[in-house]
Amino acid sequence: MGDRSGRLRAVDLAATAGISVQQVRNYVDLGVLPPVERTPAGYRIFTAGHARALAVARRLAEGHGWTRTREIMAAVHRGDLPAALATLDAGHAELDRERAEIRRVLGAFETVVAAPPTAAPPTAAPPTAAPAPRRGLRIGVVARLVGVRTSQLRLWEGRGLLRPVRERGTRYRVYDEAELRAAQVVALLRRGAYPFDIIAAVLDELRSTGSPQRVRAELARREQDLHRRSLRRLGGSAALHDYLRHRGLIG
């Protein structure tokens, strides 16, 4: 327990947060806690101010993570308020970018769902003495069905968007039904000026779930998780605001 002068032992401060004494010492060294004075015998002197800083740091970490929290608190304790606010703003901007990406992916996905289905190519009877038709479609046929050049399909493959297999022996590219659909999705979204990273995200969702309803549900789940993270960051930011006022760094 603390003594009558308001001092706290390291073990008492650690107990308030459920951490080890060594962690308390580390937080002092990293600037998460304010600098400490020492007794003539060399023992660190902790106060209620350190307990307050520890509580604020833990609240910040719930929303911003410990890496960013260490940067923010260290900047505060060395009196660099602009650096602390810049780091805090970067965390909120990060969530804004994630939210925008989810909306763009969802918008791209809805574009795909709303597009009329493309009919499968007709199966023509092979000419006399011709070999039996192979499974899948070669790149030229896919290019005609999608309405692009074969060079475009190769480019999309190089970016990891398409995954045709190779025929044994000839090494020709062969697209199954799923890859034909993927090529159609890429062409549709490129016509809508969607960037490649968003298209890749849409294809990943479609390949992993295989169900439009599951894709929508997954994106909705991510949005809800983002809302929860945003609220936690807001709570951490509010705690920091009170701490800055307590230390006299803001009015």
Judge whether residue 124 has pLDDT over 90. no
Segment 187-217, tens digit of pLDDT? 988 888 888 988 898 888 888 877 767 777 8
Predicted confidence band of residue 140 (pLDDT cuts 50, 70, 90): very high
Q: Give the range of the structural domain holding residue 40, as residue numbers without chain letter.
A: 7-101+231-247
In our burial notation (b when 16+ CB lie closer than 10 A, e otherwise), range 207-239 reads: eeeeeeeebbeebeebeeebeebbebbeebbeb
Residues 218 and 112 in one domain: yes
Residues 112 and 198 in one domain: yes
Residues 207 and 112 in one domain: yes
> Does some domain include residue 168?
yes
Residues 87 and 164 in one domain: no
Predicted pLDDT of residue 222: 83
Predicted confidence band of residue 84 (pLDDT cuts 50, 70, 90): very high
**What pTM was estimated for this model as a whole?**
0.66
Segment 145-179, tens digit of pLDDT? 999 999 999 999 999 999 999 988 888 999 998 89
Instruction: Look at 53-57, 103-107, 237-241 and tell me which has the smallest mean pLDDT.
Output: 103-107
Predicted pLDDT of residue 122: 39
Residues 162 and 187 in one domain: yes
> Does some domain include residue 129?
no
CATH number at residue 35: 1.10.1660.10
